[in-house]
Amino acid sequence: MGKDLKGKELGRGLSQRPDGRYIARAQVEGKPITLYGWNATQLKKDLAAAVDAAKRDNLMPEVDGSKITLNEWFVHKFSFSTILYIQMNI
């Protein structure tokens, strides 16, 4: 939990630098996300959006996540997990 310059808790992944700017850090599957800003509440929203976007990108790296239907995603994941299951049991 980070703190601001007055000692107030800011929340997980958020802290304040000595120059007054806020820094937000997170990791999604080993990939770091670092954002800077002057407004802590806006930075929290931006960090949440960046983490969601990174998670969405990791669902199917070879396919654009915004243009896939739920059915296509399910078929892709089901076929991949079935192949792994068959390979592990052989």
Per-residue pLDDT tens over the stretch 17-61: 999 999 999 988 788 899 999 998 899 999 999 988 888 776 655
Measure the CA–CA gap between 27 and 25, rounded to whole angstroms.
Answer: 7
Radius of gyration of the chain (CA): 19
First to last CA, the chain: 47
Q: Which residue has the higher pLDDT, 77 or 90?
A: 77
Give the mean pLDDT of 70-82: 74
Q: What is the pTM of this model?
A: 0.60
Question: Who's near 63: CB < 8 A, 6+ residues apart?
Answer: 76
Measure the CA–CA gap between 47 and 30, rounded to whole angstroms.
Answer: 16
